Structures are given as structure tokens and as C-alpha cells.
Amino acid sequence: MSSIDSQVAKELRFFRVYKDGRIELFRPHWDKIPPCDDPITGVRSKDVTISSDPPVSARIFIPKLTSPTHKFPLLLYIHGGGFCMLSPFSPQYHNFCSTVSAQAGVIVVSVEYGLFPTRPIPACYDDSWAALQWVASHVSGNGPEPWLNHHADFSKLHIGGDSAGGNISHTLAFRVGSIGLTGVKVDGVILVHPYFGGTEDDETWLFMNPTNGGLQDPRLKPPADDLNKLGCERVLIFVAEKDHLYTPGKEYYEELKKSGWGGKVELVENHGEEHCFHLHGPKYEKAVELTNKFVSFIKQA
């Protein structure tokens, strides 16, 4: 007979839970790469500490400087991974952010937020908000990061993310619209295959968030009153046809249009594609198309 510590109580998409309370992630480890200077594009990257308690960090990318006073738009990027996996230091996210930095001419701050089970939800939301506030703390040119002090244009800030990061990006835009962000203008929000409930993943999200508000939790299913408070002027949403998050993503788009929010929203459908396909084959024709659209949206600011 198995001892209780080996008996599975629950098995969810990304992990299993044992009867003794132990959590076993199906993907407990992932590759990480160091920051670097890209000799081809001229993009430089480095890692910074935003907070030590709680631990929040980021990888920053800056395009090639053409003058000592050159100013760039900003992108705060929130990675995906089901709220329990991956990192800005993972190769796919490092490479994507470096590409966007080079092609859009934008400083990217890619956030390393707390992951379940070490730090359950809402750590991911709170850490990402702390990162956005940290970025805004440089608006007067006296923050802790010289790249932001000297080269960031705070009138052209974007927030973007994929999957779980798309969900978190929405909550950031809502907080900006509700609370404000002194000295900073959030021009656009980019949601790539975002998670907004209505799928088999809901049980997983609820389990990872011990203080959840049920299936109507506004972070899971944003109500119209939240949607019409988004603190940005434009939203770009990508949905993939073969993605199980396709329908909730389209519903978010439709609800945002009806909410009374005064901005402009655009939906791009990736026909015949799976969830976050662009991260796994960045040179694939349709992945290049997605990245080009992502970049062009930022350059419209």
C-alpha cells in the first residue's frame, strides 16, 4: 500500500498535488541564458534588481544608441508560463524581447515575477505592478537605472505579454486607469494569446490563488466596469485558431468594444496556429508576421 505522501490528490495542467500537500511541477526546470550585447543588432541587455523583499528583477534591453541623448519608447513585457514556469531569462523570451527592441527601437523591461508554488498568485500581479512603478520612478531622471534615466521616453510606454503575461498585462492597464501612474503615459497594451478564463485552466488558476474570488474573479473574467477603466489609448490582441484560449481572447475583444472604454482595440487572428507558436519557431513565416505586427503597433506611438 502506498504511503500517503505518494498518493495524488489532484492532477492539473502544470502540476500534481499530493495528499500530503506536496506540489510536483511537470516542468520544474527550464533553460536560462545570461544577458549579452548583440553584435549584429547592437542591442544590449543586462539584469537589474527591482526589489529584494519580495524578490523582483528584470532583464532590460536597449537598442543601439545613435547619440548620448537618444530617447526610446518603453515596453514593459510580462512573460507567459501558466503563472508557474519560465522567465525573462529563458532563451525564447530573451530572443523575442531582443528582437522587438531592435526592430521597434524600444527599451524593453522584461519582468521576473514570483511563480507558483514558491510564491502563489497574486504575487505575479503584485510583482509586475511593482516593476511598472519602478520603471515610472525614473521619470524625473533620478532613478536607480541609468538606461531609463537617460534614454527612456515616458510619454510612450507600452505594456505587453503573452498567455499568463497577457492576463497580467490587462490587470496592469486596469490599475493604471484606476490608480494612475504619475508622469507616465501608457500608450498601448499588447496581449498575445492571453488567458482570461472559460477553459479547463480555470481550476488550475483557482488552485494557485488561495485568495481567489471564484470564477467571476475580475482577474479571471474582467467585468465591463474594469474594461472601461483601462489606462491606455490602444489595445492589440492576438488569438490563435488552434489555441484553447482562442474563444476567451475573442470574447475579451468583444467585451472591451462594448464596455464604453474610449480607446481603439484591434484583433489579429493567427489562422491554423497553436498557442504562442511564435516563441518556438521565431523564423517561421507566420511568427515573423506576428512579431512584425507587434513591432509596428509600438512604432505607431
Q: How confident is the model over 73-96, as pLDDT tens digits?
A: 999 999 999 999 999 999 999 999
Domains and CATH numbers, the chain: 1-30 (no CATH), 35-299 (3.40.50.1820)
Q: What element of type H or E holds 112? A: strand 107-112
Q: Give me the amino acid identity at 287.
A: A
What is the C-alpha separation between 237 and 162, in angstroms, rounded?
10
Annotated catalytic sites, by residue? 163, 243, 275
pTM above 0.75, yes or no: yes
pLDDT over 50 (residue 269)? yes
Q: What's the pLDDT score for residue 1?
A: 43
What confidence tens digit (pLDDT) does each residue in 112-122 have?
999 999 999 99
At 68, the pLDDT band (50, 70, 90 cuts) reads: confident
- Local structure of residue 144 (DSSP, 8 states): S
What confidence tens digit (pLDDT) does each residue in 21-31 have?
999 999 999 99
